[in-house]
Copies of this chain bind each other. A is one copy, B any other.
Amino acid sequence: MLTPIDFYFDFMSPYGWFAARQIDAIGARFGRDVTWRPLLLGVTVLQVMGLKALPDTPLKSDYLELDVPRTARLFKLPYNPPTPLPANSLAPARAYYWLFDRDPAGAKRLARRLYDRQFAEATDVSVPDVVAETAAETLGLDPAAVLAAIADPQVKERLRRAVDEAVARKAFGSPFFFVDDQPFWGSDRLWMVERWLETGGW
């Protein structure tokens, strides 16, 4: 049995979404499952790395404004984000890990649907009610149970632990992949992930 690909992403990150739309198909071509692992760029990039948020970084912010829609067109993805982008992704990330511990396949379906709502349907999925409603529609979950989970201190702690584990493993961006412990950062590296899977490394 081949090791699953670990796929780290932030629900706020359009580049993460570009990868989310492609990584399972790439994995499947090489017999690999993909484990989705939301992280928080507010922790990895801002706190741990001590950098600024991309939109607050001169020059890079202009580049992103051009590059994100351009990359979406290249990947033929229907990019249609909310304006402004949500400032955090705590609610979807908490809901994800809460569900992941009970139903990993359902958690991935929820994540996929939330990500699509955010970046293809201009829906702000940082709003707990939106997460709960999406979980109800997608998986038939009780919205009240999802809202309770998002506010549950144990679930908050579960997310913190997941982000700490990502940092301990030195994952920092969105998307960020591990293939057999080889780290790859960026949706512009998907071709390299494929090459690694194809060749077994170089």
Binding site for B on A (CB under 8 A): 44, 48-52, 57-60, 62-63, 66-67, 70, 73-74, 167, 170-172, 182-183, 185-186, 188-189, 191-192, 195, 202
- A188–B192 contact, CB under 8 A? yes
| Chain B residues near A60 (CB-CB < 8 A) | 49, 172
Give the residue of B44, B59, B192 whose beta carbon is less than 8 angstroms from that of A44.
B59
- B59–A170 contact, CB under 8 A? yes
Give the residue of B49, B172, B189, B202 whose beta carbon is less than 8 angstroms from that of A188.
B189
Q: How far is the CB of A60 from chain B (nearest CB, A)?
A: 6
| Chain B residues near A51 (CB-CB < 8 A) | 51-52, 57
- A186–B183 contact, CB under 8 A? no
- B50–A58 contact, CB under 8 A? yes
- A185–B63 contact, CB under 8 A? yes
- A66–B183 contact, CB under 8 A? yes
- B170–A202 contact, CB under 8 A? no
State whether A58 and B63 are in contact (beta carbons under 8 Å apart), knowing that A74-B202, A188-B189 are contacts in the complex.
no
State whether A183 and B63 are in contact (beta carbons under 8 Å apart), knowing that A188-B189, A191-B191, A192-B74 are contacts in the complex.
yes
Residue in chain B with minimal CB distance to A51:
B51
- B52–A59 contact, CB under 8 A? no
Q: How far is the CB of A87 from chain B (nearest CB, A)?
A: 20
A50-B52, A62-B170 provided; 15 other pairs, C-beta below 8 A? A49-B57, A49-B58, A49-B60, A50-B57, A51-B51, A51-B57, A59-B170, A59-B171, A63-B172, A63-B183, A66-B183, A67-B183, A73-B202, A74-B195, A191-B191
C-alpha gap A97/B185 in the complex (Å)? 34
| Chain B residues near A182 (CB-CB < 8 A) | 70
